Amino acid sequence: MGVYSPALGGTGIIGTGSYLPERIVSNDMVGALARVDGEWIERKTGIRERRYAADHEACSDLAVQAAVQAMADAGAEPDDIAWIIVATSTPDHPQPATAAFVQHRLGAYRAAAFDVNAVCAGFIAALHTGARLLAAPETTGERRLALVIGSDVYSRILDFGDRRTAPLFGDGAGAVVLGPVREGRGLLGTGMRTDGHLHDLIGVTAGGSREPASEKTVARGDHFFRMQGRGVRDFVVTQLPDFVAGTLDAFGVSGDEVAHFVPHQANGEMLRGVSAELGLPAARVHLPVELHGNTGSASIPLALDHARAAGQLTDGELVLLAGFGGGMTLGTCLLRWGR
C-alpha cells in the first residue's frame, strides 16, 4: 500500500548538479577506527571510498555547490526560482531551515525556501512537493522553477567506532531544477509510504524536544546516528519490490518499459541483490555508491547527475527513482527523461 500521486502541469527535470567534498576517506582509514578490515567493507557494501566535508563546510555549503551546477545545466537564473526545497536530516542548525541559507547564498530572493526531512527518502518527498507547487495556479504561465536539493553531512553525526554505520556513510549534495517540459516528458507520478511502527530502526535519539542534548546524552553517545542494519535490510528486501510494483501499476507502466533504475545508494551489495527482485528486466541500475558511500538524501540526485553527465540518459526513456529511509519511509518517482 502507499499514496500514489500523478504529476500535474507537464513538469520535469531540466537541470542536474552535484557536489562531493574534496576529502577522500578510504576503507582502510574508516575501517581502522571501526576495527574492521577495509577489504571486508568493500565486499559487504560495494563501497570503496567516501567523502567527508571540510571543517568549514556545513550542509548548506554542499547544497549551494550542487545547486549552482544544476542551475547552470538548466540555464536558470536566481530570479527564475520560485521554490527552494532542501531535503536533509543533517541541517546546518535545528532552526532556521537550511534552505534559507541556500536562498541567501544564491541570491534567489524571489523564492520561498524550506526543508523536508524524510531521512534517506527525503529527496523523493521534496521532488513530489516541488512538482505539485509548480502546478499550482499562482505559478502557471511564468518561467518559474523549483530547485530541489538533497544534502547531508553524515560525518558529523557518526560514531566512528560503530562498524554498523561508520563504514557506510559519506557527505555530499545533489540538486535538480524542475520546470516545464514538452508534452510526453517529465514526471509521471510519485509514491510515498511510511511504516511508523519501525521508527526505531534508524535515528538520532538526543538533541530534540523529547530528549534535549545534555552531558548525560553526550556521555551515552545518544547524539550519534544509530541503525539496526539487519532490520533495515529486511525492510528494504521485503517491502521495496512490492512498492515498486505498486508504483508501476498506479501509472500504467510495465516493468520491462523502465530503462533506468536510480535507487538510494544505501549499500551496493544489498541493492544488487534486491534489484533482481524488482521486475525491471531491461533497466540499467545506477550504483555510483562505490565512489561516495551512502550520502543520505543526496544519494539519488548524485546518482542521477552522474548518469546525466556521463550521457547515459536518452530522451524518451523511462526512469524510476526509489528512496528508503528512517521512519521507515519509502518513496518512488517515475519520469520520462527529456529536457
Residue 291, C-alpha cell as written in the block: 565512489
DSSP letters spanning 173-236: EEEEEEEE--TT-EEEEEEEEE-GGGGGGEE--SSSSSS---HHHHHHTTTS-EE-HHHHHHHH
- Give the C-alpha separation, 31 to 21, whole Å: 20
Active site (annotated) includes residue 294: yes
Which residues are bridge partners to 324 per DSSP? 330
Q: Report the distance separating Cα 323 and Cα 243, nearest Å.
A: 11
Annotated catalytic residue, options 260, 286, 294, 333: 294
> Is 264 a catalytic site residue?
yes
Tell me which of 117, 120, 267, 292 is the catalytic residue: 120
What's the helix, strand, coil split of the chain in %, to 5? 40, 25, 35
Kindly name the residue from 59, 117, 260, 264 that is annotated as catalytic. Answer: 264
Cα angle: 142, vertex 86, 90; to 5 degrees: 175
What residues are labeled active site?
120, 264, 294
